[in-house]
Chains A and B, each alone.
Chain A
Amino acid sequence: MTTRIHPVLGAFAALVFLFLLAPLVIIVGASLSDTSYLTFPPQGLTLRWFANIFEISAFRNTAITSFQVAILGTALSLLMGIPAAYALNRYRVELPKWLSTLFVLPILVPEIVFGFSLLKSITIGFGLPVYPSLILGHALLVLPYSVRVVGASLAAFDFSVEEAAISLGCPPLKTFLTVVLPNIRAGVIAAFILAFITSINDVSISVFLTGPGISTLPIQILAHMEQFFDPTIASVSVLLMLVTVGVMAIVEATLGLTFLTK
């Protein structure tokens, strides 16, 4: 849908982006400040807080763990979530209403209690090793995004198109991949982004599910901040933004300019 945007609406959206981006200017400024504390405007310019991230081995190691866990956890949640979202919309009338509430539970239960219960049952009760527990925990934590955000896109999908394809002899899975999926691509990507970011920033679940030898970046950052109050934390945020831009740029270059859209 492309029709003209009312100027008032356009101005409003511009203000929203100002609201969203202004604090980032402060964070970027603080990350460059040549002081041992957070300050804005920056006093002197330095990249040493960025260098710090790479020099401290705990940051490097846990960043790798965090990325692995976020990718595997998000992938797992999409593998479980997309079929569920599909069924919830396709068989809306026949499936019980509580099912869709069930899939919001992971963000509805306060995270600390969720993490505590998971540690007690999965890791200690079932004896699942730390790393798989951590991935499973993250997959569950982000499942609501996979189910509900994808589901919201599916709600607008006209399933008669799919039925037409199937009645013409196209196998269901192929139909799903070639007819349904392209139509909900924006929703899947949105779900992926939200899930990935939630996972990579998570503290409360990870606090319980990490264990000897395995830690995640946010926990390591908090540990650093117990003793140091320098701008490293700001540079970590900026670095995450740069990585995001970088990944997006690569995707754009390889998959085309409008990858986020239809």
Chain B
Amino acid sequence: MKAHRLTKFAALAILATFSGVASASAQTKTFTISWWGYNGDKMKANIIEPFKKICGCDIVFETGNNADRLNKLKLRDGKGVDVIYLSDSFSQLGVAQGLFQEVDASKIPNLSEIYELGRNPQGKYGPAYTIGRVGLVYDSAKVDPAITSWADLWRADMKSSLSLPGITTTAGPMVVLQAGKHAGVDAYEDSEKAFEAISELKPNVVKNYNTGSELVNLISTGEVRVALAQDFTLASMQAAVKTMTWATLKEGDIATLNMVNIPKGSENVELAHQFINFVLSKEVQQKEAEQGVDAPINSKVELSPEQAKMWTYGADQVSKLGRIDYAKLNDAKTDWIDQWNEVFGK
């Protein structure tokens, strides 16, 4: 009988715990933002607090990386959050899976102030709110002659000195595209040839990275001296190795965009439009850029050369960036992952 009492006690304890926390999490009307979660305090000061005043609502966040949050949004059938921040390739996945609603451009007047490439890169869905680039970095003290072309990755003196982004990262598939170009084919049409070129690259690769911190560790410990990377990692690499240099490539860098979308199950569609408009405004973009949070996509933002140094900034730079068709890329990705695994898994 005592055992019975013990289990009963256990059951009661469980119930008490659950009812206690359940009532604590009951909420009034709120605006929910799904995003990565870094730089939270700056974002709160620049965007959230001012926006709270505009909307008169509570704001809560869902945090996590692209894949986590998009997966969850899909499981919840597009419900649960009002706006979602995603990088362009994941945003395109969400579009393809029908998780977002089209935005009403007339409710986002600030769209006209942002660079053309960010307005509707994925159809009538959410715009980009920041812009970045993918290119090559190298240690100018150890790499001679300087890197000036994507083709330099295949140079013989690059043996055991390279780190590529893993195929599952944002920049990973760009390796395949560049390898295709190197082999003189369109990687979407003839991925075999592209992957032959990647096989040729393999002796040059020390290890591929999956996160920015992994890349910075590889650079700072001297394991690698050349990498294909996103621009936001550069400052940390330079802090570790002063001679790390962003290569000026004759073919140009590749643009990456971060998008903000309205899920189809959003319960505050009007507010969501208002929020996006606010995020694109010159004031917000100016502050975010000055504080080193995000590169501006609003063309009216003005930065000093020192502030601009770390960003993809100005009409001139933006116009030189190569664009990627993520709809095509995502379709090809599953096969590419298998082929990539075959090359690097051996």
Q: Is the CB of B236 within 8 A of A131?
A: no
Contact in complex: A120, B75 (CB < 8 Å): yes
Q: Across the interface, do A83 and B25 meet the contact criterion of CB distance under 8 Å?
A: no
Check if A129 is an interface residue, CB within 8 A of chain B.
Answer: yes
A119 to B69, CA, bound (A): 13
Asked whether B2 lies within 8 Å of A172 as measured between CB atoms, the reply is yes
CB interface residues, B 71-127, toward A, < 8 Å: 71-72, 75-76, 80-81
Which of B7-15, B144-152, B180-188, B320-328 interfaces with chain A?
A: B7-15
- Tell me if A37 and B5 are in contact (CB < 8 A): no
- A224 interface residue per 8 A CB criterion: yes
**A58: nearest chain-B partner, CB-CB:** B40
The reply to whether the CB of A80 lies closer than 8 angstroms to some CB of chain B is yes
Main SS of chain A's interface residues? helix
Check: A225 CB closer than 8 A to any chain B CB. Answer: yes
Closest Cβ–Cβ distance, residue B119 to chain A (whole Å): 25
Are A207 and B232 in contact (CB-based, < 8 A)? no
Mark A123-155 against chain B: 1 for CB-CB distance below 8 A, else 0.
010000111100100000000000000000000
Contact B63 A83 (CB under 8 A): no
CB pair B41–A131 under 8 Å, yes or no, is no
With CB as the reference atom, state the residue of chain A lying closest to B31. A212
A223-B10 in contact given A83-B3, A212-B60 (Cβ < 8 Å): no
Whether A36 pairs with B17 at a CB distance below 8 angstroms is: no
Q: How far is the CA of A135 from the CA of B235 in the complex (A)?
A: 39
B233 at the interface (CB under 8 A from A): yes
- Is A219 within 8 A of B239, CB to CB? no
What number of A-B contacts does a CB cutoff of 8 Å give? 143
- For B60, the chain A residues whose CB sits under 8 A away are 212-213
Residue from the list B30, B37, B212, B217 in contact with A38, Cβ < 8 A: B217
How far, in Å, is B336 (CB) from chain A's closest CB? 22
**Are B32 and A212 in contact, CB atoms less than 8 angstroms apart?**
yes
Bin chain A's interface residue count. Answer: 35 or more
A 168-200 to B, binary, CB cutoff 8 A, 1 in contact else 0? 000111101000000000000000000000000
Assess A135 versus B61: contact at CB under 8 Å? Given A37-B239, A224-B38: no
- Identify B22's interface contact among A83, A129, A172, A220, CB under 8 A: A129
Contacting pair A35 B25 (CB below 8 A): no
Q: Mark B214-248, 1 if CB is under 8 A from A, else 0.
A: 00110010000000000011011101100000000
Q: Which residues of B have CB within 8 Å of A100?
A: none
A215 within 8 A of B: yes
Stretch touching chain B among A11-19, A226-234, A253-261: A226-234
Contact present for B212 and A227 (CB under 8 Å): yes
B321 to chain A, nearest CB (A): 21
Are B240 and A212 in touch, CB under 8 angstroms? no
Judge if B68 is at the interface, Cβ distance under 8 Å: yes
Asked whether A214 and B240 contact (CB < 8 A) given A79-B14, A173-B6, A224-B38, the answer is: no
**Quick one: which of B11-37 are within 8 Å of A by CB?**
13-14, 17-18, 21-22, 24-25, 27, 30, 32, 34, 36-37
> With A135-B17, A227-B36 known to touch, is A124 a contact of B76 (CB < 8 Å)?
yes
Residues 176-223 of B contacting A (Cβ, < 8 Å) = 211-213, 216-217, 220
A69 CB to closest chain B CB, in angstroms? 10
Query: Does B283 belong to the interface (CB within 8 Å)?
Result: no
